[in-house]
Amino acid sequence: MESFTLTQQLLQFMVTGLTIGSIYAMVAIGFNIIYNVTEVLNLAQGEFVMLGGLIMVSLHVALGLPLVAAFAATVATVTVVGMLLDRLAIRPVRQPTVMSLIIATVAASMIFKGLAMLIWGKNPYDLPAFSGREPILLGGLVIQSQYLWVIGFMVLVTVLLALFFNRTILGKAMRACSDNGAAARLVGINTQQMVLLAFAVSAAIGAVAGITLTPIALMDYDRGAMLAIKGFAAAILGGLGSFPGAILGGIILGLIESYGAGLLLSGYKDAYALIVLLLVLFLRPSGILGGMAAARSKRV
């Protein structure tokens, strides 16, 4: 009986880890989209997640918009914020270098956080679960319906991105910019527009992550920084620039965090991402799939 109970606990931790790992995976994908086109780490990526959650609360809870309408309006609003970040913080930088552009994203992150504190205050906000809060009982497991929404949206985002990059002209143009920006310009691709599109897509994905996360873990103005750190750790773990690596890294990080909090020390839950990040940087800086992606690009 004790072993069965332990098995249930391990499976419960796995479900939680897959859910939170899906959030980290979406944040990591956002990092990779911008990094592949610009080689810049957008350290304001976590603020897109934060804004997605808080704007959704305002539209759906405070203003009473229907769930679908509020969802679409929130994603559109945060997408515009991402485009403004490129227009107002990235493009005006004179003689841009990777470091100066990263500093610009840090400044933007602080501005977003300050504005969010002024608008929504310091208290955390809740959002009704999409399918109610009645848990699903499955073989002794207690699964919140919102967990399935989180995982489902992560899968949907992955499928849509795969179709976008492989089947559309814009997606192929963005891939060309990530492979060789100079060559892309020579064949007539507007690289500045591709950078703008990268920020828009990255912001939209961040908004989806924030909207689906808020019914589970609440949202406040200060949440973005830690989500950015964990998403970045997931991107590094999987291999910076690799979309399959971002998903794998996010899931692994979520499982480590869930099992670590459940079986070891719950008070150090947020530290596990930093520990994993340091270990990966020490032992395999290219990440799990980073070396494979580099090898494939060289063969091409």
Full DSSP string of 216-245: HH-B-TT-HHHHHHHHHHHHHHH-TT-HHH
Spatial CA neighbour of 24 closest among 49, 7, 52? 49
Q: Which phi and psi (to 5°) does residue 91 adopt?
A: -65, -35
CA dist 177 and 171 (Å) reads 10
166, part of any domain: yes
Residue type, 62: A
pLDDT at residue number 289: 78
Distances (CA, A) of 180 to 53, 147, 187, 295: 35, 39, 11, 16
Residue pLDDT, tens place only, 197-238: 999 999 999 999 999 999 999 999 999 999 999 999 999 999
Classify strands 136-138 and 141-143 as parallel, antiparallel or unpaired. Answer: antiparallel
Provide the pLDDT for residue 38: 84
Quick one: pLDDT at residue 2?
45
DSSP helix/strand/coil, 142: strand
Listed residue (270, 277, 275) closest to 226, CA to CA: 270
3-state secondary structure of 121: coil
CB of 157 closer than 8 Å to CB of 26:
yes
Predicted TM-score of the model (pTM): 0.91
**Can you say how many angstroms the Cα of residue 106 is from the centroid of all Cα atoms in its chain?**
17
Q: Is residue 229 part of a domain?
A: yes
CA nearest neighbour of 239 among 228, 220, 252: 252
Residue pair 33/175 in contact by the 8 Å Cβ criterion: no
d(CA 254, CA 234): 9
| Spatial separation of the C-alpha atoms in residues 282 and 17, rounded to whole Å | 24
Asked whether residue 138 is assigned to any structural domain, the reply reads: yes
At 4 the pLDDT is 52
Other Cβ atoms closer than 10 A to 260: 20
* Domain of residue 26, residue span: 6-297
Q: Are 25 and 250 in contact (CB under 8 A)?
A: yes
CATH number at residue 81: 1.10.3470
Total domains present in the chain: 1
Q: Is residue 1 part of a domain?
A: no
Stretches in the chain below the pLDDT threshold 50: 1-3, 292-300
> What does the alpha-carbon distance between residue 209 and residue 25 come to, in Å, rounded to a whole number?
9
Does a structural domain hold residue 260? yes
Cα distances (angstroms) measured from residue 64 to each of 47, 61, 123, 274? 24, 5, 20, 39
Question: Are residues 217 and 58 in contact, defined by beta-carbon separation less than 8 angstroms?
Answer: no
